[in-house]
Structure 1
């Protein structure tokens, strides 16, 4: 499982995928989200800019990402 530590209160879903290199661009991130390929806490998430907060788990392409609170 990958981990991402937040810098603020949240990160938008499309930016999270790009920041971790799970997609090559923001446009690709928005495409896979719209296609229903991304889950948040086990549920399909279709909102490209959904606010992902500490404690949530994002899934895409067989990878899970746990989002951690800022240090």
Structure 2
């Protein structure tokens, strides 16, 4: 598991996927979310705008990242 630092208190899921390098474009994130490929805290998430806070874990396939505050 990798840690991804954020500056502010929350970040949207679509933004985190790009920041973590799990996707290149927002359209790619949207497609993966619609297909149920992304999990937040071990639950399937389909909303690109889901607000994440430090401590949340996001999984895409074998990749897992955890949100941490800077």
Give me the TM-score of the superposition, normalised by structure 2.
0.93
Over aligned residue pairs, what C-alpha RMSD do you find? 0.9
Query: What residue is the counterpart of 2:30 in the other structure?
Result: 30
Query: What residue is the counterpart of 1:53 in the other structure?
Result: 53
Report the number of matched residues. 70
Instruction: Give the 3-state SS of the residue equivalent to 1:5 in structure 2.
Output: strand
Question: Unaligned 5+ residue runs, structure 2?
Answer: none
Query: What residue is the counterpart of 1:10 in the other structure?
Result: 10
Give me the TM-score of the superposition, normalised by structure 1.
0.92
Q: Runs ≥4 in structure 1, deviation > 4 angstroms?
A: none
